[in-house]
Structure 1
């Protein structure tokens, strides 16, 4: 199991239509890809980070994660939405510690 997370800041003003559209489109696009489980969008409530949001999703294994990463819908979302609309991000991928 891999928990893929990315926290990020958008170029859009807080609570704007553009921000809402980005988040809605991300949910619709990314959850349509086979292998994406437990997709969640979370909003930052601490002032300790400039990242306003986080995406989190679970993959059964490394093969499922690799298939997601290479999937044309994911690649298109990154190129057409993520790159121009995200101003900063940090990606973290976790496996359970046994």
Structure 2
């Protein structure tokens, strides 16, 4: 199992309609065939500069690779992520 996480901040003001539209548009990722346990998260720690997070799980590397190459994921990154995210950090985990 691979847990894919990304924390990020948006260019949009907190609570804005643009923020809501971005977060709602990310739900397309939850419906991709290999995605499990998709979550949209609000980051609340004062120790962290990011405002939001996404978390999802994949059965294995092949499932994760299929997600990365899926046309809807590629489109989301190209059309929304690159235009609206100001900073991010991606972390992928496997159980040990």
- Considering only aligned residues, what root-mean-square deviation do their CA atoms show, in Å? 0.6
Residue equivalent to 1:4: 4
Match runs of 1:46-61 below 5 Å: 46-61=45-60
Question: Which residue is equivalent to 1:80?
Answer: 79
Distance 2:30 2:7 in 1: 17
SS in 1 for 2:37: strand
Q: Any runs of at least 4 consecutive aligned residues in structure 1 with deviations exceeding 3 A, and if so which?
A: none
Q: Give the TM-score normalised by structure 2.
A: 0.98
Whole-angstrom distance in 2 between the partners of 1:55 and 1:41: 5
User: Structure 2 CA distance, aligned partners of 1:32 and 1:93?
Assistant: 20
Look up the match of 2:25. Answer: 25
Any idea what SS the aligned residue of 2:20 has? helix
Secondary structure, aligned partner of 1:91? strand
2 CA distance for matches of 1:32 and 1:72?
Answer: 12
Q: Give TM-score scaled by structure 1 length.
A: 0.96
| Count of residue correspondences | 96
Match of 2:64 in 1: 65
- 2:65 is paired with a residue of what secondary structure? helix
1:48 positional shift: 1.4
